[in-house]
Every structure is written in C-alpha cells, then in structure tokens.
C-alpha cells in the first residue's frame, strides 16, 4: 500500500468494517466512480474514520 497509515488503520478495523469499505468500492459500476471511492476510502482510513460514521 502506498499509504501505510491508511493500511494500518484498515487492518485494525473489525472484519465487518473492512467488508463495508471493500463492498462500497466494489459496487461502483464505473471505473471513474471506483477511483473516487478508493481515494475517499484512503482519506477516511488515513484519518482513522469509518465509512458513513463520524
């Protein structure tokens, strides 16, 4: 991973929260949407925040 802080925070999440991030990115139909979601997920994880919470 390019962002070690985001990776570390992702790995410390409970499995259900990891699945939430993965599912959110994976359900994007367009590649552009997927890229935006990946960027947003990395930003949230870097800040140690969960998706849709906080």
Give dist(CA 34, CA 54) in Å, integer. Answer: 22
Give dist(CA 43, CA 49) in Å, integer. Answer: 9
User: What are the pLDDT digits (tens) for 3-36?
Assistant: 999 999 999 999 999 999 999 999 999 999 999 9
Which pLDDT belongs to residue 1?
Answer: 58
What are the residue boundaries of the structural domains of the chain, listed by start? 4-46
Q: How many CB atoms lie within 10 A of CB 44?
A: 19
Report the candidate in 22, 10, 11 with the shortest Cα–Cα distance to residue 47. 10
Residue labelled with tokens 């997927």: 34
User: What are the pLDDT digits (tens) for 29-45?
Assistant: 999 999 999 999 999 99
């Amino acid at each position: 991973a390019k962002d070690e802080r985001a990776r570390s925070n992702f790995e410390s999440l409970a499995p259900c929260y990891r699945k939430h991030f993965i599912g959110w990115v994976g359900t994007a139909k367009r590649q552009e949407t997927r890229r935006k979601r990946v960027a947003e997920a990395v930003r949230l994880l870097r800040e140690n925040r969960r998706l849709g919470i906080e």
